[in-house]
Chains A and B, each alone.
Chain A
Amino acid sequence: MKFLLCLLLLAGMAVPLAQAQGNYEIQVYGAETVAPGDLMVELHSNFTADGQRKTIGGVLPTNRAEHETLELTEGINDWSEVGFYVFTSEQDGHGVQWVGDHIRPRVRVPEKWRWPVGVSLSTEVGYQRADYDPDTWTWEIRPIVDKQTGRWYWAVNPALERTWHGPDVNQGVGFSPAVKVSYDFTKKVTGGVEYYADYGSITNIASLHDQQQQIFPAIDLNVSPEWEINFGVGIGPTAATDHWIVKAIIGRRFDWGHKMK
């Protein structure tokens, strides 16, 4: 769920604008899935320091908004998991608001197949309130390819999106890639760059001005197998993008005693 919030939908434009970067869950997915029977609980905290300042097309501004997303992911077996999201937003004048929910099943190529890269496929379906995204029902399919070699890691998520209900229902399939490259400075500290984009319709790519592009220098702290910690600051250089976002992910894995089994 990367591109939930629409920033601009200007009537009369020849080229539909790209969807806004969804400031609810900002994460490049790796191919690994949660271990069978384990539950991963993650809290995504994203603060838009400099974003959309006006209500446009009935969609509330993002500037100074704090988005908290609870993500629960249960490992089914060694090649699948199901994730569930609760999106919330908090900003002046609106208080804490429920934004929507998504469900995200994901399958992967098991490691024991010994493919040279990690491969998985995620699909995400969900609802979000029209105050936060005019496209209230959306569907995303996200191929994921990654590889860890020595200290280097890269992941590519060429995600495709489809609106089921809302103004973009006739836009077709949108293309929203995400990429991450990182380097292990130490066993516990990994630093890298994450890139998120929304190019609009895959058959009618938006102009650069109307595309969304965000670059996050980010660090991952590998303090424990039970914990996942990610922190980054995002820069949005195009007009259609929130310009400054601070993001943090804190995750805790619960194995419910499965390791003993």
Chain B
Amino acid sequence: MTAPSRCPPQAAPLPFSSTDRRSFLRGAGLAAAGLFSQHTSSAFGLSNPSVQSVPDYRIEIAEVEWELAPKKKIRTTAYNGQVPGPLLRVTEGKPVNIEIVNRLSREEIVHWHGQWIAPAVDGAMEEGAPMIPAGGRTQINFTPRPTGLHWYHTHAMAGRDLKRGLYSGQFGILYVEPRNNSGSYDQEQFITLRDWEPFYSASDDGSLMVQYASASINGRMLGHGDPIRVRAGQRVLFHIVNASATEAHWIALAGHRFQVLALDGQPVTTQAVVDTLRLGPAERVSTVVTMNSPGVWVLGEARERFRNSGMGVVVEYAESSGKPQPAAPAPLHWDYRAFGDAQPVVYKPDVTVPLVFTSRFEGHGALDRWMINGKSYPETDAVVLKEGLRHRLIFDNRSMDDHPVHLHRHSFVLVSIKGAVMSGVQKDVVIVEAGTKVEADLIASNPGDTLFHCHQQDHMNEGFMTLFRYA
């Protein structure tokens, strides 16, 4: 053990290189042309509506009819008329100004997931960020940090309405480029996983749960989007976001393996190579694949039933043809420790914060009520943080469900998984498997109210949230 570190978490640049600017512009859709323009906002926060600075981006929230596949259209709410919303590519430390226009007849809010920013612009009303009124607009400024793969999405509560909140199409990727960008890759692909057409399913064994009739990658069902075209020998960098409201997903690329570079945008200390990626809701993986197996393949869910629902995209080598081949069924295995330090180094915490997750059964035809330390939000007791101290968060999941828990405006370093010590993996979402414990260190370095919650929309709605407050 060494002395406790008081340093705020720092993100190193990912070990890969330059941006494919054309693909960015393609993805940006309706993003404003003044993408990297200078502006005068000096502090992050809400802009004075009377001061109409030129935004770097404009996001318009509106209803849309979206074609997942020919003859498969859904009505949802989306950003800028597209699913996913435009790719926002910003630079570490360079302030960005974003205008958000709400065309809906209800209030909305946009959360900047993974960013170490102020509560006023983080996009969670529980932290004090204002909702955007129906038909209203707002303009926000913040300085992007940390670097890497993040995302933005609605943080409005859905209640029991399966058309709202994260069940809708309100999500997009926020990519924060490091100032110094080294390394190499030949092609960069942004991937969003999404489940669609949710419905409640009652069970005589468990409780009411949300299931889905269809799924997509980048807004298209398998076989209906443009294939990812590659050449033998290329190194392709995939940035993958699980934007599902409730489902964890296992991703495989038949005939290939993934070298994991970063989790939740944060570089890992061991770039382990794996056959399958697991992403809980809101988790992100940046991974490079060496294209060394010519053919036509499916990048998608490792489990057939999800692939059949549409979660996949075709990866096509030049001069290859034929029916896309999915990955063969294989055991699904994921261990965060594989990406950490070979010799874990764990610091002594200043404060220990136990967080016990339990549920209350409300009937096989009802959603469980969720509790943190015995209470459901908003009755939960706030966790008090002391600035500069190392807090050991003990996620003690005593329920029968896995929980992808997320801390706003901060990252934490994983310290142990199921009792096994680890270090070297920094995240803002971690899956705490049923009946297990995960420990993570948080250095309180970003004052202001901070929301902590399970990222499953149905669990959030049923009380699985609490606030962290600075003393």
Interface residues of A (CB under 8 A from B): 30, 32, 111-112, 114, 147-153, 184, 186-187, 190, 220, 222, 224-225, 257, 260-261
Q: Are A225 and B365 in touch, CB under 8 angstroms?
A: no
In the bound assembly, the distance between CA atoms of A242 and B455 in angstroms comes to 55
Q: Which residues of B contact A257 (CB under 8 A)?
A: 329
Mark contacts of B180-223 with chain A using CB atoms, 8 A cut-off: 1 yes-contact digit, 0 otherwise. Answer: 00000000000000000101011111111001110000000000
The stretch from B139-147, B356-364, B387-395 touching chain A is: B356-364
Question: With A222-B204, A261-B303 in contact, do A190 and B364 touch (Cβ < 8 Å)?
Answer: yes
CB distance A225 to B366 under 8 Å?
Answer: no
Within the complex, which residue of A153, A222, A261 is in contact with B365, where a contact is CB–CB below 8 Å? A153
**Contact between B304 and A261, CB atoms less than 8 A apart:** yes
With known contacts A150-B365, A151-B364, A190-B364, A261–B197 Cβ distance under 8 A = no
Decide if B211 touches A112 in the complex (CB within 8 Å).
Answer: yes
* Cα of A210 to Cα of B166 in the assembled complex, Å: 58
B49 within 8 A of A: no
B211: contacting residue among A111, A150, A184, CB under 8 A: A111
Q: Check B365–A149 contact: CB distance below 8 A.
A: yes
A to B CB contacts below 8 Å, 28 in the list: A112-B211, A112-B212, A112-B213, A147-B365, A148-B204, A148-B364, A149-B365, A149-B366, A150-B362, A150-B363, A150-B366, A151-B363, A151-B365, A151-B366, A152-B363, A153-B364, A184-B364, A186-B361, A190-B364, A220-B204, A222-B204, A224-B205, A257-B329, A260-B329, A260-B331, A260-B332, A261-B303, A261-B304
Interface of chain B, main secondary structure: loop
Chain B positions within 8 Å of A30 at CB level: 204
A114 to B196 CA separation, bound complex (whole angstroms): 13
- For B21, what are the chain A residues with a Cβ–Cβ distance below 8 Å? none
- 10 closest A-B pairs by beta carbon, nearest first, are A148-B365, A151-B363, A112-B213, A148-B202, A150-B363, A261-B304, A225-B205, A187-B361, A150-B366, A114-B199
Q: Chain A residues with Cβ under 8 A from B305's Cβ?
A: 261
Partner of B201, one of A111, A152, A225, A261: A111
* CA–CA, A187 and B303, complex, Å: 29
With contact pairs A112-B197, A112-B199, A260-B332 given, residues A225 and B206 touching in the complex (Cβ less than 8 Å): yes
Q: Which residues of chain A have C-beta atoms less than 8 A from B331's C-beta?
A: 260
- Report the tally of A-B residue pairs with Cβ distances under 8 A: 62
Binary interface encoding of chain B residues 345-386 relative to chain A, with 1 for a CB under 8 A from any of its CBs, else 0: 000000000000000011111100000000000000000000
A230 to chain B, nearest CB (A): 10
**Least distance between B414 CB and chain A CB atoms (Å):** 26
| Count of interface residues, chain B, beta-carbon cutoff 8 Å | 25
Question: Could you tell me the distance in whole angstroms from the C-beta of A75 to the nearest C-beta in chain B?
Answer: 12
Cβ contact within 8 Å between B199 and A261? no
A199 to B344, CA, bound (A): 73
Q: How long is the Cα–Cα vector from A260 to B213 in the complex, in angstroms? A: 19
Contacts of A222 in B (CB 8 A): 204-205, 364
State in angstroms the CA–CA spacing of A149 and B197 once bound together. 21
Residue in A closest to B206 when the chains form the complex, CB atoms? A225
- For B329, list chain A residues within 8 Å (CB): 257, 260-261
Instruction: For the complex, give the distance between the alpha carbons of A222 and B366 in Å.
Output: 16
Looking at the assembled complex, report how far the CB atom of A132 sits from the nearest CB atom of chain B, in whole angstroms. Answer: 31
Contacts of A187 in B (CB 8 A): 206-207, 361, 364
* Closest beta carbon of chain B to A51's beta carbon, Å: 30
Most A-side CB within 10 Å, residue of B202, B206, B208, B332: B202
Closest to A118 in B: B202
What are the residues of chain A within 8 A of B365 when measuring CB–CB? 147-153
B-chain residues with CB within 8 Å of residue A148 when the two chains form the complex: 202, 204, 208, 363-365
CB-nearest residue of chain A relative to B306? A261
**Set of chain B residues within 8 Å of A220, measured between Cβ atoms:** 204
Return the chain A residue nearest B304 by Cβ: A261
List the A side residues contacting B366 at CB < 8 Å.
149-151
B415 to chain A, nearest CB (A): 30
Does the CB pair A111–B364 fall under 8 Å?
no
Chain A: which residue is nearest B208 at the CB level? A148
Assembly CA distance A151 to B364 (angstroms): 6
Chain A residues with CB below 8 A from B206, complex form: 187, 225
A151 CA / B367 CA spacing, docked (Å): 10
CA separation between A220 and B205, bound complex, in Å? 10
Distance in angstroms from A173 CB to nearest chain B CB is 31
Cβ-defined contact, B364 with A260, below 8 A: no
A151 touches which of B201, B203, B362 (Cβ 8 Å): B362
B contact residues around A149 at 8 Å (CB): 363, 365-366
B215 to chain A, nearest CB (A): 12
Complex: how many Å from CA A62 to CA B295? 67
Contact with A along B327-344 (1 / 0, CB 8 A): 001011000000000000
Q: Which residues of B contact A112 (CB under 8 A)?
A: 197, 199, 211-213
Residues of B within 8 A of A184 (CB): 361, 363-364
Q: How far is the CB of A45 from chain B (nearest CB, A)?
A: 20
Chain B: which residue is nearest A220 at the CB level?
B204
Distance, CA A261 to CA B329, complexed state (A): 6
Question: For the complex, what is the distance from the CA of A224 to the CA of B364, rounded to whole Å?
Answer: 13
Query: How far apart sit A74 and B208, CA to CA, in the bound complex (Å)?
Result: 24
User: How far is the CB of B465 from the nearest CB of chain A, in Å?
Assistant: 23
A32 neighbours in B (Cβ, 8 Å): 204
Of A114, A147, A190, most buried by chain B (CB within 10 Å of CB) is: A114
Closest A residue, CB atoms, query B213: A112
In this complex, which of A30, A149, A187 has the most chain B Cβ atoms within 10 angstroms of its Cβ? A187
Residues of B within 8 Å of A186, CB to CB, are 361
Give A257 to B328 CA distance when docked, in angstroms: 13
What's the nearest-Cβ distance from chain A to residue B309, in Å? Answer: 10
